[in-house]
Amino acid sequence: MIYDGHAYCAQDPALGGGFDDPAEFRRFLQLFMATARQQPVWRKRDRAPADSRGLVDPDRPWDFDALKDAGFRWGSHGRVEWDADGETYVKQALPTSIHNLTFTAQDLIAEMDYAGVDMALLHRTPYMSKSNEFIADCIRQYPDRIHGLAYVPEWLIGSETESCIRTLERAIEELGLHGYQFMPHHMALYGLEPRWDGPDFQPFWDAAASLDIPMFFTLAADGYDQYLAELRKLRRWMERYPEVTVVQTHGFDWRMFSDARTLHVPDEVFDAAPVDHPNYHVQLLFAVFLQRQWDYPMPQILPTMETMHHRLGPDRLIWGTDVPVSLLWWTYRQNIDYIRGYCDFIPASDVARILGGNMARIMGVKTP
């Protein structure tokens, strides 16, 4: 079985992304487009290479208050546009085949069928819609092919705990979602410290752990020391909830540990992360971070792949793609083949675990 452990469907942004206030959704979308570095930007008039500083103050990029009034808008062919200094700029947010930033369950299944992918897990991010109902509808259309994660706004958990618990319980018990994704870096957008391992969050975590679902942690940080601190929080969290299956989405911050020629994860990162915990898993999403930096099949990542295989073992590594974003640079099949065809130091039986067997086990999927 090939199981993509990290995929997306994207709701039509005109529907407001599941937010009560559509303007809040637009802020999320503009901020992401201003800070995402893997998508190219050009000046519309002459296609000259450009950057996203017309969308946000570059001195304080991860801040809603830093967003600029630039007529930000989305349109056809996977693009967003904005105006600055009398010019219009374009960012290729998603592949050119995608209309209106919308990627439906049918679109995903078509890609999966062509590439030979059996199942996929829908991840979450507010700029693609925080609506659990939207994800549940995708699952209902293809229950044997798609699983999905629940989402609860991180910035509300500490202040509206009971409501957030009910949201998560409903997503799992009534809507039929299969796990929970947590992204603490969103808290900073609302002026909150990411103290997600403190007492304010414990009632929520106790309730979430009682649901007996896998939990997917997306850790981001402004700098190396802060990143290590987030990994240590996750280690403490797993010590408190040792029975919970945890997946660190995307893997480590691969871009933080790469330069023009190499990728090297310091030992200090492995020491901070809960790599010795049997329920800790790491996704391998090198492509979406580095595919613009290096050409396919990115031989620069192979030493790190070998290290990950050695340090964590084949049962705790999970392949994922970030489709449809990764399709900007590689085909879906290439996203599989860079592991299946080029990591000859990994035995075939271990490759099978990484490409799907581990996800099937985590998600309770019966395989032949």
Model confidence pLDDT, tens digit, residues 137-168: 999 999 999 999 999 999 999 999 999 999 99
Q: How far apart are CA 274 and CA 70, in angstroms?
A: 43
**Structural domains in the chain plus CATH codes:** 3-10+100-363 (3.20.20.140), 13-92 (no CATH)
Q: What is the pLDDT of residue 183?
A: 98
Model confidence pLDDT, tens digit, residues 278-334: 999 999 999 888 988 899 999 999 999 999 999 999 999 999 999 999 999 999 999
Q: How far apart are CA 279 and CA 248, in angstroms?
A: 11
Q: Which residues contact 231 (CB under 8 A, 6 or more apart)?
A: 219, 269, 272, 273, 274
Q: Which residues contact 151 (CB under 8 A, 6 or more apart)?
A: 124, 126, 130, 132, 135, 171, 180, 181
Q: Which residues of the chain have pLDDT under 70?
A: none
Q: What is the pTM of this model?
A: 0.96
Q: Are 101 and 74 in contact (CB under 8 A)?
A: yes
Model confidence pLDDT, tens digit, residues 94-103: 999 999 999 9
Percent of the chain with pLDDT over 70: 100
Q: Which residues contact 6 (CB under 8 A, 6 or more apart)?
A: 121, 123, 249, 250, 283, 285, 318, 320, 321, 322
Average pLDDT across the chain, whole number? 96
Q: How far apart are CA 306 and CA 44, in angstroms?
A: 42
Q: Are 362 and 247 in contact (CB under 8 A)?
A: yes
Q: Are 325 and 37 in contact (CB under 8 A)?
A: no
CA dihedral 110, 114, 117, 120 (to 10 degrees): -20
Q: Distances in Å between the alpha carbon of 8 and those of 18, 130, 141, 148, 206?
A: 15, 12, 15, 9, 28
Q: What is the pLDDT of residue 63?
A: 94
Choose among 351, 320, 354, 352: nearest CA to 335. Answer: 320
Q: What is the pLDDT of residue 260?
A: 85
- Residue 331: strand pairing partners: none
DSSP annotation of 354: I
- Give the three-class secondary structure for 178: coil
- Other Cβ atoms within 10 Å of 133 Cβ, number: 12
